[in-house]
Amino acid sequence: MPPFEKILLKNMETPGYTGSLADYERGGGYQALRKVLGKIPPAEITETVKKSGLRGRGGAGFPTGVKWGFLPKDYQGPKYLCCNADESEPGTFKDRQLIERDPHQMIEGMLLACYAIGVETAYIYIRGEFVLGAQILERALAEARMAGYVGQNILGARTSINIWVHRGAGAYICGEETALLESLEGKRGLPRVKPPFPATHGLYNKPTVVNNVETLANLPHIINRGAEWFAAIGSPPKSSGTRIFCVSGHVKRPGNFEVPMGTTLRELIFEHAGGMRSDKPLKAIIPGGASAPFFTPEHLGVKLDFESVAQAGSMLGSGGVTVMEEGTNMVWAALRLMEFFYHESCGKCTPCREGSSWLVQTMRRIVDGRGRNSDLETLVELCQNIAGRTVCAFGDAEVAPIMSTLKYWRHEYEELIQQAAMSAPAELMMPVMGKH
């Protein structure tokens, strides 16, 4: 491995680092804010972020500076920033670490974003289950207020920025940015039809930016060290910087590993995560959270950057890399993910609401040894009628596990169905509506 300096995890990996304001300041914390506040015009910050090539770390990978640039110019009236800390994509646990171990890093990032886009009120939408994370953020914000970094007339400048923690209450879909806004407005978290986009009609129908925790945490470093420095890290020009990959599953050393984008799956799994946990060989990899299509060992050479993973037929997504060993049944694995999507479908769009129920029932039938020959055709037809036919990207995500396991491990589906045919006469059962 070539020598490489971590950016986001550097502080917290220093022995004794507690994440307190004093610790953060000792490591150069809030210097970026001091550097820009009242000294560098906001538009210049947006330009710097554009030039750095920073792209969203939540899943979609949209260029951050470009997203900011969509806010209407010279808009009079309130605008909002929401930090998306709803981390709920199965396989992903990086934001939790960024929040609980170095809260000031993301808070400084939020302040820089607010300054750049002219926002005075920002919310951290954190998933409800992160009770400890919310407490740590509240504590860090209290420290930051005392020190004059948050509140009225920050550091004596004319800029005022308030940041509030807002807890979700258990709904995966609230990580989708427009569902997040609905939820923050006190409603059911149903995604909105786009356009209009949050940049013009967001929170309370006002111009709004929603950025992920890891995205925001990168900002102080970009401001301190410059766009060129950041743009050269990783796989420029389209995948600059590092990513924190969350490795889970059958590896020796699961965890969060910050590496330059463009690192191969092989290096991540076999060097950073210590390789397979037993002598069972690798069978399958999910490279970017539950919504990303499965990979096989043939894909170990794929570079972990936005373009390479997409070209290989999956997506970099949220950075959740799940590793499965030989002996894991892929139909069972896809069913487990499908159950997740069925549970989390918000119910707004019919193809997703009804389709996820049908998919779960069909998959469960196959796994339980009651599958029929026509089931594979049913699965494909259902998937094709969900993807691309819903308001948000959830519809595309929920079919990924089934479509990709069917592509690489179709024989496992067929074996289960054949066994069912031999052991017992299949009883005809139509999928029915409602929970089972």
Among 26, 34, 35, 188, binds another protein (CB under 8 A): 188
89 half-sphere exposure, CB direction, 13 A CA radius: 32
Does 250 interact with another protein (rule: CB under 8 A)? yes
Does 434 interact with another protein (rule: CB under 8 A)? no
Nearer to another protein, 169 or 424 (CB): 169
Does 11 interact with another protein (rule: CB under 8 A)? no
Q: How many residues does the chain have?
A: 436
Does 377 interact with another protein (rule: CB under 8 A)? no
CA distances (Å), 139 to each of 27, 64, 122, 345, in order? 19, 28, 16, 34
Q: Please report how close the Cβ of residue 130 comes to another protein at its closest, in angstroms.
A: 7
Binding mask 338-367 for another protein (x = CB under 8 A): -xx--xx-x---------------------
Q: Which residues from 21-40 bind another protein, rule CB under 8 A?
A: none
Helix (H) or strand (E) holding 362: helix 350-367
Binding mask 103-142 for another protein (x = CB under 8 A): ------------------x-----xxxxxx---x------
Binding mask 408-427 for another protein (x = CB under 8 A): --------------------
- Name the 3-class secondary structure at 256: strand
Does 207 interact with another protein (rule: CB under 8 A)? no
Give the contacts of 264 (CB within 8 A, at least 6 positions apart): 300, 301, 302, 303, 304
Among 34, 187, 194, 411, binds another protein (CB under 8 A): 187
What φ, ψ does residue 383 adopt, rounded to 5°? -60, -45
CB-based contact 140:99 (threshold 8 Å): no
Residue 209's nearest CA partner among 168, 166, 252, 180 is 180
Does 183 interact with another protein (rule: CB under 8 A)? yes
Among 55, 57, 167, 372, binds another protein (CB under 8 A): 167
Long-range Cβ contacts of 342-346 (<8 Å, 24+ apart): 344/171, 344/172, 344/173, 344/394, 345/173, 345/394, 345/398, 346/171, 346/173, 346/179, 346/188, 346/189, 346/190, 346/191, 346/394
Number of residues that bind another protein (CB under 8 A): 66
Q: Please report how close the Cβ of residue 226 comes to another protein at its closest, in angstroms.
A: 29
Among 42, 78, 118, 351, binds another protein (CB under 8 A): 78
Q: Please report how close the Cβ of residue 35 comes to another protein at its closest, in angstroms.
A: 28
Nearer to another protein, 96 or 372 (CB): 96
Does 88 interact with another protein (rule: CB under 8 A)? yes
Would you list the DSSP string of 264-284?
Answer: BHHIIIIIIS-SBSSSSPEEE
CB-based contact 109:52 (threshold 8 Å): no
C-alpha 267/C-alpha 313 separation (Å) is 20
Give contact residues for another protein (rule: CB under 8 A): 12-17, 19, 78, 87-93, 95-97, 100-101, 121, 127-132, 136, 164, 166-172, 183-189, 204, 246-250, 253-256, 290, 320, 322, 324, 328, 333, 336-337, 339-340, 343-344, 346
